Amino acid sequence: MMREKEMQKKERFIFFTLVLFILSQCAGGADETSQPEAFGGQDLSLSGKSLISYQLSTSKHCFVFPEGFSMSIGGNNFSGNQAVAWLESRLIEFRGTSSIYYQAAVYVTGNAAFTESKSGRTVSIQQRIVEDGNSTVFYFDVSGEVFITADKREVKDPRLSELYKMADAASAVIEDKIIIQESAKVPEWTSELERKITEKAAKGITGKEPSAGTGFIERVIAREKAAKAGEPSTPRFRYPINIMAAGAATPKIESTQFADKTNAATIIGRFYIWQKQDESGRLLELQADSAVIFYSPEQLQTGSRQTGSQDILAKGPVKSIYLAGDVVMTEGIRTIHADEAYYDFDEKTAVIVNAELKDFDVKRGIPIYLRAAKLMGIAENKFVARDVVLTSSEFYKPQISANISEIFITDTTPVETAAGQPSDNSFDAQMKKVSLKADDTTFFYWPSLRSNLESPELPIRRLQLGNSNRWGTSLETEWYLSRLLGLQEAQGVKSTLQADYFSERGPGGGVEVDYTRENYYGRLLGYMIRDTGEDFLGRYETREHLEPENKLRGRLSWQHRHFLPYDWQLTTELNYLSDENFLESFYREEFNLYKQETYVHLKKSVDNQAFSLLGSWRINDFADYLEQTPSVEYHITGQSIFDDRFTLYNDSQVSRFRQRIGDDHTTIIDENPYTFMTNRTELGLPFSWLSLKMVPFIAGTFGYDDRSGFSRSLVDGSNTGEFGEDKLFLGEMGVRAYAQPFWKVYPNFKSNLWDVEGLRHIIQPGVMISHVEKGDDVLDEQVRDIMALSFAQRLQTKRGPADNKRTVDWMRLDTDFVWVGDSQDASDSEPGADRYLWAKPIVPMRVLSAPDIFNGDLSPSSLHRFELFGPRRNYFSADYIWRATDTLAVLGDMYVDMQSGSVQQANVGFSRLCWPNLSYYIGSRYLKRVEILEEEGTNAVTFAATYILDPRYTLVFSQQYDFDYGSNVRNDLTLIRKYHRLNYAFTVSIDESLDENAIMFSIWPEGIKEMAIGERRYMDIGP
């Protein structure tokens, strides 16, 4: 029985094969130039679990299969999870017989599969993969019957559904790509261009479809007409076309008629045509030396009619026009120059030869020129072109340009500008075979790109070349990851790929992904390098020539914040490093500014109250790290009590800590978990008295530490001190007072030299007095009574033109005088700049819980950096700025230890702009309590200047010299050469703090930062 069944199947297979073979031979005898698959009789079968059907127009139907889909035609089988099918009926004539066939487009997504028939001649199917890789669009003709089956069916408009939107967008993009690809088949123009375009115009007017053997231009225009043919016709108001002389000589107009009764008129002589486009006044303007006009005779008004100083030669609804000789087409800010052009006023389509389209990017401040051997306007604001040069230079041979074989452009700039709502996406260009050239040299090629002039889809984002004695010759590149993979990047996601090479270190690469959604955002960064060199972290002997233990080094970092319901917020971060020195060596700026932590933080904040839960762990074994497993905090800020008579502040924390010591560090400490608690509660009584706003307050702070208490000491890097009390209490009482500003006006004080017109002097004084009751002797060296007096002063004046005066702070001076109880004796070592925190006079109690073993370096040289409860000695500080003119400013600050009378910190800077060629800065930074090698203290002077030598050359110079150390810190010299729309920069850098010398070369087009090579910080410098 089994054998008989197999024989029966085999016989059926042979029978159907013979039938298909006979049908294919019959179909093969048809004329190959006939309409697609005429009378082939191949039926289409569509089936699914559910179906939504809808009639889009009189000839076009849509079928949506949201659950399961299968299809077959001519032995070809299709399947997928979901699908959208469009069928459009067409009437064709074949050998004197009329028949109807269907043009089909089917979008299949979700496990899309296609099995093509291998036997016989079947229907021709175009298969196009959508960019997401999981969807496919099929195009084919149906000459037989259409059968549709489904378990359930409903009739409704599906165009608002997400499935239909995705299908429609995918099919539209693929249709545009097909048009671009077919542009390669455009036949070369002959010397009889005028006659051919006239014939094309006649075909457009009569509505005859071009045959299959016609060229691309006819097919493109026909495609747009066919797309509109199925739409219900609605009356459309057409503005009249006005034709007038463009010079002193009056052009000649002669009328004629073609054999098909089409009327035409020729214009000889320079003329001007304009047509109103909408009620906002937007115009379409045309100029040329000669033309052929196609019109309806009863509608065109010819003759010479006077309007002011100009003559109207003709007026009426012209159908189309062929122009020749210095053609200029203008619509809004868009202008096209060409040798010859054909324009259809009804369909708003065009064919233009040797075209140059000019636009202007307002945001970038540069013009955009598109030059094309052939430019086809296939619909309003849509263009197809080939042999294109895209540049920002008006020169015929630009210094830098994009040469494109094919391009599809959508330009809504004139419409959006006229509506007052221009956007960055008003210009969209899809390009094929793109070559970026400097003069005639190609330096970059890519097969497919897309650009909206706001975010050009170049696959490369950054490229930097350089050479230094530490890194060798370096090539650093950054690429758009999605564009390299040919994928469409999800909305709100930006992904890049880093690919680097350093001749002294080795090859490296990584990925960075930034993502943003409505309820969350984050960043993922990974980088690896095969490092064959050495780390150089500074000029100390112990920080030079550090060879990494493993050649394979890198990092992984993830940061994420999620906004949850009910005012909750989740923040998490993960930072893994291969070794202790990698971050400082390869990401020095990040190492200096940010901590590398791994934690999960959950917070709820409502009005003036906040609750948080924090878990933090060490994942890098080499790091000193304080783990929190977990910490719980609760805060109340400015809570009104008894109808605003009192104000409450409360900060509470309960934590489970564990101090971890790095594997190679020698500090000995108990690494067992311990409990830490602190609470600070403050109650204030705000009131006004005379011109003072006063807030007397009392506060209490409690601390608990069950590991070592609140008394520790470090001797030679080891913890040998005695443990203190595990509970600690601190009481405070005091008053804060602020007076209303005192001010006086000097209206007659004027000076042209100092750019002053009238002065107003404002003084804002404030005072804070705090007395501390200590519950333990350990607080004697940490907490002191404080009295702080502050003065904020402003000298204001008026500047600007007489009709637009503005108020500016001519001078600003803020001063603080701080006295502390039990100030350290002058004979003691000077502690450095201990600033008083005005808004919060003490820091959390946990600072007293062994501050020297919290996250950070345990070396003895770093002990003085640790945070203290408050200032230890009397001091004076000042912050000053003087805006002498709009081009001259002086600023500085100072910290003076009043106990010893010495300046602990001082900074002063002088900034000047000498219009139009020179701007410079001179500044000095002085720090007394800083050790650099054998020297204590630093006094670094910085000088930086930008000088425009002439319109072509700009010089940028900066130098920093440390007088206390007696050596340069860093020198940079950059020479910028500006060409037309293109700039070069050559930089020499000498960094003696890292013993590194480098040479860098940069090049960037004007206004297009994405195409910059090398350093980008000089891009806005120069004339």
- Residue 867: its pLDDT value, please? 43
Kindly compute the dihedral angle of the four CA atoms of residues 394, 396, 397, 402, in this order, to the nearest 10 degrees: 60
Cα separation of 620 and 772, whole Å?
41
- Residue 33: its pLDDT value, please? 36
Q: With left for phi above 0 and alpha for psi between -120 and 50, is residue 671 left, alpha or beta? A: alpha
Spatial CB neighbours of 922, under 8 Å, sequence gap ≥ 6: 909, 910, 941, 942, 943
Mean pLDDT lowest among 186-190, 836-840, 945-949: 186-190
pLDDT at residue 332 greater than cutoff 60: yes
Range picked from 1-10, 134-143, 708-717 for highest mean pLDDT: 134-143
| pLDDT-based confidence at residue 64 (cuts at 50, 70, 90) | very high
* pLDDT tens-digit series, residues 340-394: 888 887 777 788 888 887 777 776 777 878 888 888 877 666 778 888 887 877 7
Cα separation of 821 and 867, whole Å?
19
- Residue 1003: its pLDDT value, please? 80
- Residue 298: its pLDDT value, please? 55
Once rounded to an integer, what is the mean pLDDT over residues 767-772? 90
* pLDDT tens-digit series, residues 139-163: 888 877 788 888 888 888 888 888 8
pLDDT at residue 986 greater than cutoff 80: yes
Cα separation of 633 and 609, whole Å?
11
- Residue 671: its pLDDT value, please? 83
pLDDT at residue 568 greater than cutoff 90: yes
* pLDDT tens-digit series, residues 501-533: 999 899 999 999 999 998 999 999 999 999 988
| pLDDT-based confidence at residue 44 (cuts at 50, 70, 90) | confident
| pLDDT-based confidence at residue 546 (cuts at 50, 70, 90) | confident
| pLDDT-based confidence at residue 186 (cuts at 50, 70, 90) | very low
- Residue 193: its pLDDT value, please? 40
Spatial CB neighbours of 18, under 8 Å, sequence gap ≥ 6: none
User: What percent of the chain has pLDDT above 90?
Assistant: 22
For 123, how many CA atoms within 13 A lie in the half-sphere containing its CB?
28
Please state whether beta strands 382-391 and 400-411 pair in parallel, antiparallel, or not at all (unpaired): antiparallel
Q: Is 798 helix (H, G, I), strand (E, B) or coil?
A: strand
Mean pLDDT lowest among 479-483, 573-577, 941-945: 479-483
pLDDT at residue 951 greater than cutoff 70: yes
Strands (E), 380-519: 382-391, 400-411, 427-438, 441-451, 460-468, 472-480, 493-502, 506-516
pLDDT at residue 647 greater than cutoff 90: yes
- Residue 855: its pLDDT value, please? 45
CB-CB neighbours of 423 under 10 Å: 12
Burial of 934 (0-12, 13-18, 19+ CB in 10 A): exposed
- Residue 417: its pLDDT value, please? 57
Cα angle: 465, vertex 468, 473; to 5 degrees: 45
- Residue 1022: its pLDDT value, please? 64
Spatial CB neighbours of 941, under 8 Å, sequence gap ≥ 6: 922, 923, 924, 925, 960, 961, 962, 963
- Residue 767: its pLDDT value, please? 93
* pLDDT tens-digit series, residues 76-116: 888 888 999 988 887 665 445 556 778 889 999 888 888 77
Mean pLDDT lowest among 441-455, 494-508, 567-581: 441-455
Kindly compute the dihedral angle of the four CA atoms of residues 796, 802, 806, 810, in this order, to the nearest 10 degrees: -30
- Residue 553: its pLDDT value, please? 94
Once rounded to an integer, what is the mean pLDDT over residues 303-319? 51
- Residue 10: its pLDDT value, please? 44
Cα separation of 459 and 860, whole Å?
50
* pLDDT tens-digit series, residues 720-760: 445 667 888 888 899 999 888 999 999 999 888 888 999 99
For 315, how many CA atoms within 13 A lie in the half-sphere containing its CB?
11
Question: What integer best gives the mean pLDDT of the chain?
Answer: 76
pLDDT at residue 929 greater than cutoff 50: yes
In this structure, are residues 549 and 507 in contact, taking their beta carbons and an 8 Å threshold?
A: no
| pLDDT-based confidence at residue 870 (cuts at 50, 70, 90) | low
